[in-house]
Amino acid sequence: MSEPLLRRIAREVLGEELASRLWKRIEILGDIAVIRKPFDVDIDKLKPVAERILEELSYVKSVWAAVTPVSGEHRVRSYVHLAGEPRSETVYREHGCSFLLDITKVYISPVLSYDHARVAKMVRAGERILNMFAGVGGYSIVISRLSRPSLVVSIDINPYAARYARINAELNRVAEINEVIEGDALLVARGFAREFDRVLMPLPELWRDALVASIGIVKRGGWLHPHLFVEARRKRESLDVAKSAVESVAKELGARVEVRGGHVVRSVGPRRYHVTLDVLVIEKASTF
Ligand SMILES: C[S@@+](CC[C@H](N)C(=O)[O-])C[C@H]1O[C@@H](n2cnc3c(N)ncnc32)[C@H](O)[C@@H]1O
């Protein structure tokens, strides 16, 4: 396998020892490149690496260091500008859709790209969809463009994410079927008068609360797509662990569900995985 670009550049600019401490991959978001800063490497050491990235990748206009992992309610990282245009807004593209966003103000990760299209392929014409943790509209807009839902409601508690989700619905010409609500999805979900055919919950940290809220607003015969972090010995076992966890919460709620599929989004540590499931709602308790 050829040496990853970042590792080669770092080796040439900084030497073997420092280069070996850098994360191998550069993340490319539109025309912005992001390098993860290892805690024991000084930010000034990354600047000449960033300059070389600008020289070698002509489509990159700005290079940033991510100095923290995603954290906080808005799931945003902290960044330091390294080289190129001092600009953090860009247009990120996937599946023929364009997303205007500011990397310092909203969550964005290409790691969800595969799942955006995977879920879109399951959507039937006319579905009413709720995206509880929509970010800048990843699932909502890819689904609106690749499938034919009649309504997609996106909620996000981060005002910047809600603003970009609205702009992105316009940018991708799907504003007519997209509604964006800024607020806490767990509270907003209580206020819907009509049920949804499908509810997306792309925030593993709140999966239990989101599942409780979504059972009340999904149709019988509808679909839930929770995201979870699970501990498992092997990647292939992680889906079974998630399935048991979701089935057990559904049972407590008096609902009968069947897990029909899912996807391991990524590994998030030793024996820890981010997974999402496709959950068919067969029966709900009469109280819902
Ligand atoms: C992992 S990101 C969403 C990613 C996005 N769905 C995508 O496909 O790119 C999770 C989002 O949930 C939002 N969030 C966190 N707590 C929330 C809450 N209680 N209600 C609504 N949104 C929330 C964050 O602001 C963040 O934008």
Nearest atom of ligand 1 to the alpha carbon of 135: 27
Question: What interhelical angle do 113-122 and 138-146 show, nearest 10?
Answer: 40
Span from the CA of 166 to the centroid of ligand 1 (angstroms): 15
Span from the CA of 53 to the centroid of ligand 1 (angstroms): 31
Span from the CA of 131 to the centroid of ligand 1 (angstroms): 9
- Round to whole Å and give the CA distance between 19 and 16: 5
What topology is assigned to 5-87 in CATH? GMP Synthetase; Chain A, domain 3 (3.30.300)
Span from the CA of 38 to the centroid of ligand 1 (angstroms): 26
Span from the CA of 50 to the centroid of ligand 1 (angstroms): 30
Among 157, 160, 211, say which to mutate for ligand 1: greatest number of ligand atoms within 8 Å of CB.
157
Which residue matches tokens 């089935």? Answer: 247
**Residue 267 to residues 33, 202, 209, 236, 273, Cα–Cα distance (Å):** 22, 16, 23, 11, 4
Per-residue pLDDT of the chain (288 residues; tens, 9 = 90+): 567 888 888 889 888 888 888 877 899 999 999 999 988 889 999 999 999 999 999 999 999 999 999 999 999 999 999 999 999 999 999 999 999 999 999 999 999 999 999 999 999 999 999 999 999 999 999 999 999 999 999 999 999 999 999 999 999 999 999 999 999 999 999 999 899 999 999 999 999 999 999 999 999 999 999 999 999 999 999 999 999 999 999 999 999 999 999 999 999 999 999 999 999 999 987 655
What topology is assigned to 106-283 in CATH? Rossmann fold (3.40.50)
Among 113, 141, 203, say which to mutate for ligand 1: greatest number of ligand atoms within 8 Å of CB.
203
Residue 115 CA to chain centroid, in angstroms? 9
Span from the CA of 19 to the centroid of ligand 1 (angstroms): 34
Residue range(s) of every CATH 3.40.50.150 domain in the chain: 106-283
Residue range(s) of every CATH 3.30.300.110 domain in the chain: 5-87
Task: Give residue ranges with CB within 6 A of ligand 1.
Answer: 73-75, 107, 112, 133-135, 138-139, 155-158, 161, 184-186, 202-203
pLDDT for res 226: 98
pLDDT for res 277: 98
